Amino acid sequence: MPDHGLRAPFVIESAELRLIELPLLKPFTISSGTMVTRVAPIVVLRGGGCEGYAEGVADVLPDYLPETIVSSMMMMRDVLLPAIVGKHFANPQEIERSFRPWRDHQMAKATVEMAFWDLWSKVQGLPLWQVLGGTRSQIEVGVSLGIREIFETLEEVALHVEQGYRRIKLKITTGHDLKLLDAVRARFPNIHLTVDANCCYTLADLALLRKLDSYGLDYIEQPLAWNDLHDHVRLQSILSTPICLDESIRTLADCRKALQSDAGRIINIKVGRVGGHTVAKQIHDLCLAYDVPVWCGGMTETGIGRAHNIHLCTLEQFSRPGDTSSSSRYFKQDVIVERLETSDGLMPIPANGAGIGVTVDWDFLDAISTSAETIKA
Ligand code: OSB
Ligand code: MG
């Protein structure tokens, strides 16, 4: 950790835990379910005269990974927040270390750890990207298009290509894959195109999966089960298109095993999925050492989670366009005052002050909060 001339040690004085519900402009469908409303935990940590914010990525149902809103909220309320409030931590890595003996719950751990990264950066008066060690000033982004009728997807592809997005990712599912790709490739033969199966195939689908090799895809995201690196090794040995792992990578060890065994050749890093920025950085560094490209995934976050993702994208090895597209694609109104919008496929780094560099719209946050509680020392 570089010496930024740290201010006097500060204590985490209190934590606020909220649950928000924000309707999506339109439903977002992936192979394992449909999201209509974004339900998300928000954590606010206070100390050193500053406030740090983060947003959790758990879903109401365990349809992406096993963690849910209920389990994630319980873990934060009963275990993680009481363990840190009233204490001093020299840096965010100390928080990550203190959570390590507790199994899983990466999404809950990430929310608390990320809020501390924001708080810690603000106490030092530095932007989060700088504290994370970022070097990139241009953040290239793509879009993730949910499952819809083929004609609707074609319109969406056209719209987003026109807006300058640098890569189009199509959500696919069993029975909605090759025909969709035929239609999109017929009209857009040269765009950077990827697919995301969200675990819907097995090796019994090998004949179909082989055909994906013929569409010139940049990569195929998470074709097989979330907890099965072994079968991805087999699939990658057969396909020439790189496999990109998302759900399968929840820890640094997962990533090491995936790279050592060639289970995938590109990694989607979601800070909320891997337990926070500390582990996200470790995974990033490992991929850098392996010369494996990474990109930043998203979970249809509001501006708070989105801002964290953008800052993370400044690290060197984020060499492929991520999913952190314009907030206005998802929400009519955001929980922050600033609008996080792309132009020509580039996302500006929020810089309204230190930390994640955004301003919370407290009136709106109150209006969409379904619960709010405070944990004091
Ligand atoms: O697999 O990347 C995924 C959204 C919810 C659950 C899983 C995924 C996604 C996305 C959305 O692809 C990306 C975004 O935030 O725009
Ligand atoms: Mg994915």
Please give the pLDDT value at position 301: 98
Predicted local confidence at residue 8, as pLDDT = 67
pLDDT tens track for 179-195: 999 999 999 999 999 99
Ligand 1 pocket test: which of 32, 300, 328, 347 has the largest number of ligand atoms within 8 Å of its C-beta?
A: 300
Are the beta carbons of 234 and 263 closer than 8 angstroms?
A: no
The stretches of 291-330 forming alpha helices (DSSP H) are 303-312
What pLDDT shows up at residue 12?
A: 98
CA 125 to ligand 2 center in whole angstroms? 34
Q: Which ligand is nearest to the CA of 31?
A: 1
Q: Active site includes 26?
A: no
What confidence tens digit (pLDDT) does each residue in 78-121 have? 999 999 999 999 999 999 999 999 999 999 999 999 999 999 99
Delineate the domains of the chain, giving CATH numbers in brackets: 10-125+359-376 (3.30.390.10), 131-348 (3.20.20.120)
Phi, psi of 294, deg, nearest 5:
-125, 160
CA-nearest residue, atom 4 of ligand 1 = 299
pLDDT at 5: 53
Give the position, in ligand 1's atom list, of the atom nearest the Cα of 198: 1
CA proximity to 313, closest of 296, 299, 333: 296
State the residue for tokens 């929310």.
Answer: 111
Looking at the CA of residue 306, tell me the nearest atom of ligand 1.
15
Ligand nearest to the CA of 331: 1
Query: Which residue of the set 109, 122, 169, 270 is catalytic?
Result: 270
Please say if 87 is a catalytic residue: no
Positions in the chain whose pLDDT score sits under 70: 1-8
What letter represents residue 57's amino acid?
V
- Ligand 1 within 6 A of CB of 248: no
Residue 69, ligand 1, Cβ within 6 A: no
Ligand nearest to the CA of 65: 1
Instruction: Please tell me the predicted confidence (pLDDT) of residue 3.
Output: 47
For residue 270, which atom of ligand 1 is closest to its CA? 2
Catalytic residue among 109, 122, 169, 171: 171
Q: What's the CA-to-centroid distance between 68 and ligand 2, angstroms?
A: 17
**Three-state secondary structure call for residue 3:** coil
**CA atoms within a 13 Å half-sphere pointing along the CA-CB vector of 228:** 15
| Phi, psi dihedral angles at 376 (to 5 degrees) | -115, 160
Q: 110, 301 in Cβ contact below 8 A?
A: no
Please give the Cα distance from 372 to 41 (Å, whole number).
Answer: 10
Ligand 1 centroid – CA 305 distance (Å) = 13
